[in-house]
Homo-oligomer: A and B are copies of this chain.
Amino acid sequence: MRITQLGEDRLIRRWTRALRNDRSVLRGVGDDCAVLSGAKGVPLLFASDMLVEGVHFRASADPAAVGWKALAVNVSDIAAMGGLPRYAVVSLGFPPSARVARTDGLYRGLKRCADRFGVNLVGGDTGRASCWVIGVAILGEVEPRRLVCRTGARPGDWLLVTGRLGGAVESGRHLTFTPRLREARVIGARIRPRAMMDLSDGLWTDLPRLCRASGVGAVVETGRIPRQAGCSLRQAVAEGEDFELLMAIPPEQAKPLLRWAAWHLRCGLTTIGRIVRGRLIRYVDAAGKELRFKEGFKHF
C-alpha cells in the first residue's frame, strides 16, 4: 500500500497509536503543539514543521521569504495554543551547489522572523540534501489559564476566524504571512476560546480535525466566510496555507469579543458558523442548501 492511499491523518494515527508517554506529557500528538508540564507550573509547548523545496516553496522563491515562512509556520503553531514562542532550532539541508548568498538570505529571513516574534534561535544542524530542506522546531511557554487545545469545542459554540481566506499560494502570501501571535494573545487576554487551531491546510481539511478532537460536528455558513479579494469560495475553503486562526467560542463571549474586534483587531474577526452535536460537518449557503467541495490540501 502507498502512503497516498491513506493520507496524512490516518498515517499519523497509525504511527502514533502505540506511543507510551509519561505523565509529564499533558498533550501529545494531535494538536498544533505538544504540551509538556514545565516547572513553575508553566507548560511548555513543543512543535516542529519542515519546508521542502518544490512542495512548500519554489526553487525560484526569495530565500529570505522562505526563511521567514519556515519559522512563521512554527510561530503560528504556538499562537494557536495561546502561547508565546521562546526558542527555535533549525535543521538545514542544501545541495552542495547551493550559493552562499542564497543561504545567507534564508538565514536573514529566519532572523527577521525571530526578532519580530521574540524567538531565540539557539542551534540546529546543517548538511547535504538533494534539494533545499528547512526543518524548524520551536519551544514556547503558555500560562495554564491561557492554554487552548483543539479538544474543548462544545455544541452551541460559535466558529470564528481571523483575517480572510484563500489565494495564499497564488498571491505569494504563504511566504510572507504574519502569524496571528499578537491576535491570539490579545484575544486570550479578554476571553479563553474553548478550542483553537491555525488553518494551515484549509478549513475543509482543518475543521474536521478540530471537530474530531472535540467530538462534535459543525455547520459553516458559506456566505459568511471572509474571502481574500478575487477568491472563490472553493479557494477560501480548500486551498490552505492561510495560517489564520479558527476558534470555537461560546456565544455570550463571542458577541462582546466581536464588538471589541471590530474596533481593535485590524485583521478582522468573523463568525462563520457554529458547533453542533454529532460528527457531521455541513457547509450551507444563505438559502440553507448544502454545498460540497473538492478536497482540500493533501500532504500526499
Contacts and interface: CB of A to CB of B under 8 A. Distances in A.
Interface of A: 1-6, 8, 11-12, 14-16, 18-22, 24-25, 28-31, 33-34, 36, 38-40, 42, 44, 46-50, 52, 54-56, 86-87, 89-91, 93-94, 96-101, 103-104, 107, 111, 115, 120-131, 133, 135, 137, 139, 299-300
A112 B104 CA distance: 38
Closest 10 pairs (CB-CB, A-B): A137-B137, A39-B39, A34-B122, A135-B135, A39-B40, A50-B91, A15-B107, A34-B123, A48-B89, A21-B120
27 contacts: A2-B100, A3-B98, A3-B103, A4-B97, A11-B126, A12-B126, A15-B104, A15-B107, A19-B120, A21-B122, A24-B120, A25-B122, A29-B121, A39-B42, A46-B139, A48-B89, A50-B93, A52-B93, A52-B128, A52-B130, A52-B133, A55-B127, A55-B129, A89-B137, A127-B300, A135-B137, A139-B139
A36 B122 contact: yes
Nearest to A1: B100
Contacts of A29: 121-124
A37 to B, nearest CB: 11
Contacts of A127: 8, 50, 52, 55-56, 299-300
* Copy total for this chain: 2
Contact of A50 (B6, B40, B133): B133
A4 B128 CA distance: 10
Contacts of A46: 87, 89, 122-123, 137, 139
A72 to B, nearest CB: 14
Contacts of A126: 8, 11-12, 299
A300 B120 CA distance: 26
